[in-house]
Amino acid sequence: MAEKSFKYIILGGGVSAGYAAKEFANQGVKPGELAVISKEAVAPYERPALSKGYLFPEGAARLPGFHTCVGSGGEKFLPETYKQKGIELILSTEIVKADLAAKSLVSAAGDVFKYETLIIATGSTVLRLTDFGVQGADSKNILYLREIDDADVLVEAIKAKKGGKAVVVGGGYIGLELSAVLRLNNLDVTMVFPEPWCMPRLFTADIAAFYETYYTNKGVKIIKGTVAAGFTAHPSGEVKEVQLKDGRSLEADIVIVGVGAKPLTNLFKGQVEEDKGGIKTDAFFKTSVPDVYAVGDVATFPLKMYGDVRRVEHVDHSRKSAEQAVKAIKAAEGGGAVEEYDYLPFFYSRSFDLSWQFYGDNVGDSVLFGESNPSSPKPRFGAYWVQDGKVVGAFMEGGNPEEFRCLANVAKVRPVAESLDELKKQGILFAAKI
């Protein structure tokens, strides 16, 4: 049992960990001061690639192509980059005990890691159907996607079941992106979800109708209003059928489940204040425990522009919260301070030839504008959300970088809107004038 001590430890191996390490390097961290501890076998990488480019039938993304921080146009941190910058990268190491009072972490192998300042960047883990006791959910080829090992298993399954039947359970981010990429791999795809339309946490019924029709035109079958209630398997143990709650059954060679995620906070239960399912932080991502910070998916933080506290699961926040925490740590060491985190919620997705972005808050009344015909060769449409007479959210499919910049500005400024009819009429021009 070895013991090592560091001034700073970043616990986690995802996007937040990579961006925190980059910011420490930018701030001039000294050799030997910083360690990144990850249970994964590879250096931190841009996770969104796993549900997109990694699964493409041709020209697929592979490491080292998408190590952090290429997703935001920054320097690519290869394993040797960490070494060059004096950062110790400790991979394939699962931490099983954290004692925040003693400032120590213990690995599954019994190694002890001491720190002065800890950044918790443990991210989320997928919700599994076995967690809910779904019958047959442990059959082979019922797959999930979170880490690169999961993606490798999925790549092999796609090759092994070429031209076969895939059932995607879930109609959110993962469900939509994976349904698209499975169709690109020429599988017969059925998407199943219980809600009345896809991406219900963000999309209105009108926006969802466009994507559902577009996907249907691409050959994806969509079944709404029911859930996977059980699975049958072949004698080999591989999944054979998905049994739906409404009584139907679907043949399946592969099942991919995307029904949500939960933040990985178990190590810290009872040691740190929590809120809304995450670790409660201030605007600098400091937790209730001195010298302990939490970033990315695990952090419940003040959303300044809305006077609210929220937990946000998205790559953009994972990057920015990590950078904010490190800047705050280094500023405090020098007797200074940084500005409070003032985050504008931002979500995006790409699938087939589609690409959308959303900024702000999807509350209040909404209005659609533009060309939302799913059969259009280049669909270009958007939506605004209006609350208390002000535009608080903006969405666009098929926009260009300047249009997306205008939409972000609208969501930030929250201008007064004359009426929904006027917004519909002006469309993107409304945003361009702000």
Residues 161, 251: contact at Cβ < 8 Å? Answer: no
Digit-coded pLDDT (tens) for 246-255: 999 999 999 9
Q: What is the pLDDT of residues 346-368, one digit of tens each?
A: 999 999 999 999 999 999 999 99
Confidence at residue 390, expressed as pLDDT on a 0 to 100 scale: 97
User: What confidence score (pLDDT) does residue 385 get?
Assistant: 98
The domain defined by 129-259 carries CATH number 3.90.25.10: no
Average pLDDT over residues 266-278: 97
Q: By three-state DSSP, how is residue 408 classified?
A: helix
Across residues 139-157, what is the average pLDDT?
98
Task: Give the whole-number percent of the chain exceeding pLDDT 70.
Answer: 100
Whether 3-125+262-334 and 129-259 share one fold: the answer is yes
pLDDT-based confidence at residue 1 (cuts at 50, 70, 90): confident
- CATH code for the part of the protein at 353-432: 3.30.390.30
CB neighbourhood size of 329 (10 A)? 22
Nearest-10 Cα torsion for 151, 154, 156, 162: -140
Whether the CB-CB separation of 253 and 222 falls below 8 Å is answered with: no
Domain 3-125+262-334 has what CATH class? alpha beta
Residue range 232-241: mean pLDDT, rounded: 98
For 21-48, how does the pLDDT look when each residue is reduced to its tens digit (9 = 90+)? 999 999 999 999 999 999 999 999 999 9
Confidence of residue 325 (pLDDT cuts 50, 70, 90): very high
> pLDDT, tens digit, for every residue of 182-199?
999 999 999 999 999 999
* CA 18 – CA 249 distance, rounded (Å): 43
CA–CA separation, 39 vs 151, rounded Å?
Answer: 16
Q: In which band, very low, low, confident or very high, does the pLDDT at 100 lie, cut at 50, 70 and 90?
A: very high
Secondary structure class of 15 (helix, strand, coil): helix
Q: Which residue in the block uniquely carries the two structure tokens 């469309």?
A: 427
Share above pLDDT 90 across residues of the chain, in percent, rounded to a whole number: 99
Place of tokens 């399912």: 277
Phi then psi for 51, rounded to 5 degrees? -95, 5
Query: Which tens digits make up the pLDDT trace of 51-76?
Result: 999 999 999 999 999 999 999 999 99
Q: Are 147 and 38 in contact (CB under 8 A)?
A: no
pLDDT for the residue numbered 354: 97
Domain boundaries, the chain: 3-125+262-334, 129-259, 353-432
Q: State how far the Cα of 190 lies from the Cα of 387, in Å rounded to an integer.
A: 36
User: Two tokens at 87?
Assistant: 């950062």
> What is the pLDDT averaged over residues 73-86?
96
Cβ density class 418-430: b for 16+ within 10 Å, e for less: eeeeebeebbbeb
Structure-token pair, residue 128: 């599994």
pLDDT at 153: 98
Question: Cα(10)–Cα(367) distance, rounded to whole angstroms?
Answer: 43
Token pair of 144 as six digits:
């999930």
Beta-carbon contacts of 85 under 8 Å, excluding residues fewer than 6 positions away, are: 25, 29, 31
User: What's the whole-number average pLDDT of the chain?
Assistant: 97
**What are the pLDDT digits (tens) for 213-231?**
999 999 999 999 999 999 9
pLDDT of residue 174: 95
And the tokens for 321?
Answer: 């919260």
